[in-house]
Structure 1
Amino acid sequence: MRVTVVYSPAPREVREWLLEVPAQATVSMALQASGLGIEFPDVDWKAAALGVWGRKASLAQPLREDDRIEVYRPLLVDPKLARRERFRKQGARAAGLFARKKK
């Protein structure tokens, strides 16, 4: 069975492994077969957030043919906080429904 493991160690940089795994393989087995832990020893993939095709997954989740396993990096900034800061810098009149439009 073919699966793909994807990891992005930095912004705009993506590493991808195409693997052949047994029919009853799990996410954990695919991550071990990918060599992710060898190439990126600082990543604790057992504690990292994981997904299969963008949906949250566990290490014990069984895989299907052509699944894409994604290993997510932790967020550096809370997205809600970043949006509030951008809005604060823009000002209330420059954004949203009440923005003053130039004619």
Structure 2
Amino acid sequence: MGPVFKKDLIIVQIVAALTKRHFIKQLQVPEGTLISQAIKLAEMKEFYPEINCSTLKVGIYGKAVCSETVLQQGDRIETYRPLISDPKEKRKLKNIQKVRKA
């Protein structure tokens, strides 16, 4: 790869809320950078040592995407934590409890 000039750089933001702590970092990366590369550059692993970057679910502005997605200027990369419980099951249990109280 040749030298990187200012015009070849884009600005992206990475956000995460995997625990009670929030992570927000703005990066300047070369055009053509993948989400997985940006996450490594952001050093999220130092902030969240428990995460497995290879299985981390990610999205851009609320839309789920693959970690091999090429970033565009201004993208906001969001990391998604695993669900603690299935929302459908939780609603079903809540409705059963309501019926029992009635």
Structure 1 outlier segments of 4+, above 3 Å: none
Offset of residue 58 of structure 1: 1.4
2: distance between equivalents of 1:69 and 1:92?
A: 43
Structure 1 length-normalised TM: 0.81
Map 1:12-91 to 2 at 5 A: 13-91=21-99
Offset of residue 22 of structure 1: 0.6
Identity %: 26
Structure 2 length-normalised TM: 0.82
Structure 2: 5+ residue runs without aligned partners? 1-9
Contact 2:18–2:80 (CA under 8 A) maintained in structure 1:
no
Structure 1: 5+ residue runs without aligned partners? 95-103
Over the residues paired in the alignment, what is the CA RMSD in angstroms?
1.8
Contact 1:45–1:71 (CA under 8 A) maintained in structure 2:
no
Aligned length: 93
